[in-house]
């Protein structure tokens, strides 16, 4: 038996510029972090000749199949097919948070599954190749409307600026902060569940279909990546980081009609009125988790204003996908 542990991610700035349709013409960059919420893959070998099935998968349902073509779960099926694993394997999935909630869980699933199955085969894969392979499978085999940031942050972990050159070439710049600076950033972030989950693909497709009309918004969002990096690594107050989050959220809301909803707007307004300096909805939009930057002295008021919503405690700068038991 082996177990792979893969982090979810939180994107602060630059989301949307990680699609090749944009960055091949204008450049792209994302400032984001892996967080200490994870997806776990447990892989076990079993002698299928003793059973009436060859592969067993356990997630929110259980599949016991004789061949790959019988597998209903497409990412499971296509990753197994890509790695030429057709029998004698049992895979169980567990997750700290629900899928379709804006934390990159789909890509964390793909990254973690590749990592686990490569280890199952006795093969080593680097963080760079792991991220590239996950991008390839999601975009070219599964034909999903996804960008390239989630796979990189899941594979590498950490707090980073990731710059995109081609869909198979990116550069990861670690953001180095003092312990005190990182603690202040971490302790200023509050995350609440909106109560809505949604597939990201539909919203991302709307953005890409309307790309010619939102390019200027994306360019402004791209410019905020360097500004945010300078704030984090500088000596000024981190409150400017919170104000910048508000700017990127206002730009993001304009990318597609489904990015926000009245309930999300009301949550955001209530959080800001109670003392949050800024924030944003994580992921493509439409639901999931709402992030706020809140000074310590205002956090009790923000929690009180959003008492009807579930708060998720977390830590930033988590490690990347890893085999934790073998």
| CB-based contact 324:3 (threshold 8 Å) | yes
Residue in this structure with the two tokens 């539909």, named with its chain if needed? 202
- The average pLDDT across 187-216 equals 82
Distance CA(16)–CA(42), nearest Å, equals 32
Is 30 in contact with 15 (CB distance < 8 Å)? yes
Is residue 160's pLDDT more than 90? yes
* pLDDT attached to residue 199: 64
Q: Which two tokens stand for residue 250?
A: 């206002």
Q: Please report which confidence band the pLDDT of residue 200 belongs to, taking 50, 70 and 90 as the band edges.
A: low
pLDDT of residue 211: 81
DSSP 127: H
Q: Cα(297)–Cα(213) distance, rounded to whole angstroms?
A: 41
Alpha carbon distance 151, 149 (integer Å)? 6
pLDDT mean over 191-215: 79
Mean pLDDT for 103-113 is 96
Q: Are 279 and 253 in contact (CB under 8 A)?
A: no
Give the confidence band of 284 by pLDDT, cuts at 50, 70, 90.
Answer: low
pLDDT for the residue 307: 97
Q: Quick check: 254 pLDDT over 90? A: no
CA–CA separation, 322 and 40 (whole Å): 10
State the virtual CA torsion across 202, 207, 270, 100 in degrees, nearest 10.
30
Does position 143 have pLDDT exceeding 90, yes or no? Answer: yes
Average pLDDT over residues 297-311: 97
pLDDT tens digits, residue range 214-245?
Answer: 899 999 999 999 999 999 999 999 999 999 99
pLDDT surpasses 90 at 259:
no
Ramachandran area for residue 143 (φ above 0: left; ψ -120 to 50: alpha; else beta)? left
Domains in the chain, start-ordered, CATH in brackets? 2-176+317-325 (3.30.230.10), 179-305 (3.30.70.890)
Mean pLDDT across 191-214: 79
State whether residue 51 is helix, strand or coil.
coil
Residue 256 has pLDDT above 80, yes or no: no
Cα(32)–Cα(239) distance, rounded to whole angstroms? Answer: 17
One-character DSSP codes across 180-198: HHHHHHHHTEEEEE-S---
Structure tokens at 283: 């992921």
Q: Per-residue confidence at 201, pLDDT binned at 50, 70, 90?
A: low
Tell me the pLDDT band of 72, cut-offs 50, 70 and 90. Answer: very high
Mean pLDDT on 272-300: 92
Q: Residue 304: count other Cβ atoms within 10 Å of its Cβ.
A: 10
Q: Is 278 a residue whose pLDDT tops 80?
A: yes
* Average pLDDT for 68-78: 98
195 neighbors 261 (Cβ within 8 angstroms): no
In which band, very low, low, confident or very high, does the pLDDT at 2 lie, cut at 50, 70 and 90? very high
Q: What pLDDT, on the 0 to 100 scale, is given for residue 198? A: 65
- Distance from C-alpha of 84 to C-alpha of 3, rounded to nearest angstrom: 20
Give the separation between CA 77 and CA 69, rounded to whole angstroms.
7
Instruction: Tell me the torsion sign for CA atoms 4, 119, 67, 144.
Output: positive
- List the 278-281 sheet strands across, edge first: 189-193, 289-293, 278-281
pLDDT > 90 in the chain, percent = 84
- List all residues 6 or more positions away from 234 whose beta carbon is below 8 Å from its beta carbon: none
* Confidence label for 54 from pLDDT (cuts 50, 70 and 90): very high
Q: What is the rounded average pLDDT of the residues 95-104?
A: 89
Across the chain, mean pLDDT equals: 94
């Amino acid at each position: 038996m082996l177990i792979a542990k893969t982090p979810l991610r939180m994107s602060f700035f630059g989301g949307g510029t990680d699609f090749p349709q944009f960055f091949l013409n204008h450049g792209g960059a994302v400032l984001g972090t892996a967080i200490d919420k994870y997806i776990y893959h447990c892989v076990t070998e079993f002698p299928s000749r003793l059973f009436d099935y060859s592969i067993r998968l356990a997630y929110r349902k259980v599949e016991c199949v004789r061949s790959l073509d019988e597998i209903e779960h497409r990412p499971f099926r296509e990753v197994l097919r890509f790695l030429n694993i057709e029998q004698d394997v049992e895979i169980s999935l567990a997750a700290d948070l629900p899928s379709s909630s804006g934390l990159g869980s789909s890509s964390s699933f793909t990254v973690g599954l590749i990592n686990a199955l490569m280890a199952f085969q006795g093969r080593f894969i680097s963080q760079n190749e792991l991220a590239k392979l996950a991008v390839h499978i999601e975009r070219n085999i599964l034909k999903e409307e996804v960008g390239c940031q989630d796979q990189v942050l899941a594979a590498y972990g950490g707090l980073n600026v990731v710059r995109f050159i081609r869909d198979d070439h990116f550069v990861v710049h670690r953001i180095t902060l003092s312990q005190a600076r990182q603690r202040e950033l971490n302790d200023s972030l509050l995350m609440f569940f909106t109560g809505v989950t949604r597939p990201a693909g539909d919203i991302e497709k709307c953005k890409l279909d309307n790309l010619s009309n939102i390019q200027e918004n994306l360019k402004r969002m791209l410019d905020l990546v360097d500004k945010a990096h300078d704030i984090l690594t500088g000596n000024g107050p981190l409150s400017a980081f919170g104000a910048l989050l508000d700017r990127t959220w206002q730009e993001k809301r304009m990318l597609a009609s489904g990015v926000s909803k009245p309930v999300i707007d009301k949550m955001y307004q209530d959080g800001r009125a109670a003392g949050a300096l800024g924030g944003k909805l994580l992921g493509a939009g439409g639901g999931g988790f709402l992030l706020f930057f809140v000074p310590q002295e205002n956090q009790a008021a923000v929690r009180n204003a959003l008492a009807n919503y579930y708060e998720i405690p977390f830590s930033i700068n988590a490690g990347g996908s890893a085999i934790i038991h073998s």
